[in-house]
Amino acid sequence: MFLSRKTALLYSIPAKEKPYWFLTIALVFILVVSQLFQDGMFMDGELYVCVSKNLANGSGSFWNPYFGETSGLAFHEQPPLYFGLMALFFKLLGNSMYTERIFCLLTLFVTTLYIVKIWRLVFREDEAIAAKSWLPVLLWITIPVCFWTYNNLVEETVMGVFTTMAVYFILKSLLIKARTLLNLFLGAVFIFLASLTKGIQGMYPIVAPALFWLAIPSKISFKKSLAYSMVLLLIPLISYTLLVCNPTVYGAYELYFKSRFVSALNGSAATTGNRFRLVYNLFCQLIPALSFGAIILILGKTRKTASSGSPLFSTAMSRSDLNRTPFYLLLIGLSGSLPLMVTLEQREFYIATTLPFFALSISVFIVPVLSALLDSFNARPLGFRIFNLVATLLLLSSLLFTLSQLGKTKRDAELLQDIRGIDKTIPDGETLSSSLDLMEAWDVRTYFNRYRNVNLCPVSAHNTKNHLVKFKSSVVDSSLLSKYEKVQMESTVLDLYKLK
């Protein structure tokens, strides 16, 4: 029932590490929490939230999620697990704007937890280094697309939970001989859940055992690594075989492949003309972490600090083995990023689920030098006390700053203000006629759907609803517009009309 002394020490936070955790948590509040609890969101994230809210409120089903009556009967742009999980939160917490924010914070917490668990698993024989689990979290959360991803609730927030958990259990099966099959089974389950969230992209941890052999061949045979990867593939394969025997599930995946998967591969959804753009974007996103690592190594070289080598090997290892641990973590990150080059539909946040492994790789590589530098700094009582005070004040300031942002709007402020004003004059759940350009503005459509279940449909001679909404700059056929009279209201972006 009780933790062993070694386990308790491994999972406790020594006093000398607390200010570094304070600093890390402060950055989480500043970069994520303070932004997350403001109104306004990237269109993709708002769209997914609408689908999840509708599912919770009885519109659609798990295998046939629903966005709106004017957008088709079902939403099959992505597999359904993200919507199903968030729908549970809407059922529990209601339709408040903060429901999806709390859900996102939970995904952030769980991913952080498993980054820490991977770190402590790798450094299980070194309590001092294991206690520096704040380091990979710090490097991870300061990657720009990482905190952007959480601020905008895209599906990578959930997929990242499952891929990080999968790698943890796979690595546990490779490093700790006890319960190998159980850990592989758990890893396979989380791979399946990742794929049920965002499709085939979630399957990349399957190659983790093979990459372990490639990076550290002295620790596993090729045959065993291949067998482990086959076990990881078998569970999702069996699961999907059983699922598609159900006609509803088969139909849902058929629509998903037609509407999303095929379009991504054939280039019709292209966002770039260069497949290697992803490599450039990845490098740019890692510049803050790489720069921090370079500074630490330069300081270490200047001060001639000693390093202890790779944690996966004994102290009697060869020099050539020193950097293999970070190399393995780097390969895992690349295994989830580089395959995305197969399609020209490339967005920076698609790599978000691999960022924990890049942060871990850099952290493992620099931590021997960083540890020596911090030991030298911590040995100065006055300097450490001052740093502790500064970190504590920064944490408190970040909490106050976060509270000060509640009720504010971080994007689309004028649009949201107009939509709120319009909402006061129309019934909940009404369908509005709309100008054609407004129909193509998905940010407007998702905000209307999210806050009042309002749908939009293009105005025509045979389709005139009780109200019409358009951009102030929109041009609507005069014969159609003459059927309406303008509603007098203060607005900046939108105009509302009522049927005469």
pLDDT tens digit sequence for 374-408: 888 877 888 889 999 999 999 999 999 999 998 89
Give the pLDDT of residue 262. 72
Question: At residue 417, does pLDDT exceed 70?
Answer: yes
Query: CB under 8 Å to 290, separation ≥6 — which residues?
Result: 362
pTM, to two decimals = 0.91
The answer to whether 40 touches 405, Cβ cutoff 8 Å, is no
Give the pLDDT of residue 195. 95
Query: CB under 8 Å to 491, separation ≥6 — which residues?
Result: 417, 418, 421, 422, 472
Segment (H or E) for 499: strand 494-499
Which of the four pLDDT bands, split at 50, 70 and 90, describes residue 50? Answer: very high
What is the C-alpha separation between 19 and 384, in angstroms, rounded? 9
Give the pLDDT of residue 269. 62
Which range (67-71, 142-146, 161-165, 496-500) has the least confidence? 67-71
Q: What are phi and psi of 478, to 5 degrees?
A: -60, -35
Give the pLDDT of residue 9. 43
Question: At residue 2, does pLDDT exceed 50?
Answer: no
Strands 431-434 and 455-458, how do they pair? parallel
Question: At residue 320, does pLDDT exceed 50?
Answer: no
Reduce the DSSP state of residue 361 to 3 states and report it: helix
Q: Mean per-residue pLDDT for 175-188?
A: 92
Amino acid at site 236: P
Q: Which residue has the higher pLDDT, 29 or 384?
A: 29
Give the pLDDT of residue 317. 36
Reduce the DSSP state of residue 485 to 3 states and report it: strand
Q: Mean per-residue pLDDT for 275-296?
A: 92
What is the C-alpha separation between 243 and 99, in angstroms, rounded? 30
* 74-109 per-position pLDDT tens digit: 788 889 999 999 999 999 999 888 999 999 999 999
What is the C-alpha separation between 383 and 185, in angstroms, rounded? 48
Identify the residue whose tokens are 């905190």.
Answer: 147
Give the pLDDT of residue 333. 96
Q: Is 299 exposed, middle or buried (0-12, 13-18, 19+ CB in 10 A)?
A: middle
Which residue pairs from 332-339 have beta carbons closer than 8 angstroms and sit at least 24 positions apart in sequence?
A: 332/167, 332/204, 332/205, 332/208, 332/211, 332/357, 333/357, 333/358, 333/361, 335/204, 335/205, 335/207, 335/208, 335/211, 336/163, 336/201, 336/204, 336/205, 337/278, 337/282, 338/278, 338/279, 339/201, 339/204
- Mean pLDDT of all residues belonging to the chain: 87
Give the pLDDT of residue 494. 92
Segment (H or E) for 468: strand 467-471
Question: At residue 322, does pLDDT exceed 60?
Answer: no
- Residue 195 tokens read as 């794929």
Give the pLDDT of residue 93. 94
The answer to whether 251 touches 259, Cβ cutoff 8 Å, is no
What is the C-alpha separation between 131 and 113, in angstroms, rounded? 13
Report DSSP state, residue 463: B
Identify the residue whose tokens are 């991913």.
Answer: 111
* 434-489 per-position pLDDT tens digit: 888 888 888 888 998 888 888 888 888 777 888 899 999 888 888 888 888 988 88
Question: At residue 8, does pLDDT exceed 60?
Answer: no
Amino acid at site 395: L
Task: Report helix angle 355-378 to 277-303, nearest 10.
Answer: 10
Q: For the chain, state the CA radius of gyration.
A: 26
Question: At residue 307, does pLDDT exceed 60?
Answer: no
Q: Chain centroid to CA 257: how far?
A: 23
Which range (111-120, 140-149, 201-210, 218-227) has the least confidence? 218-227
Reduce the DSSP state of residue 132 to 3 states and report it: coil
Question: At residue 311, does pLDDT exceed 70?
Answer: no
Which range (156-165, 230-239, 298-307, 422-431) has the least confidence? 298-307
What is the C-alpha separation between 192 and 206, in angstroms, rounded? 10
Q: What is the dihedral of CA 292, 298, 303, 306, to 10 degrees?
A: 80
Q: Mean per-residue pLDDT for 159-186?
A: 94
- Residue 389 tokens read as 């005070």
Q: Mean per-residue pLDDT for 232-261?
A: 90
Percent of the chain having pLDDT more than 90? Answer: 53
What is the C-alpha separation between 211 and 415, in angstroms, rounded? 48
Sheet holding 431-434, edge to edge: 455-458, 431-434, 467-471, 494-499, 484-486
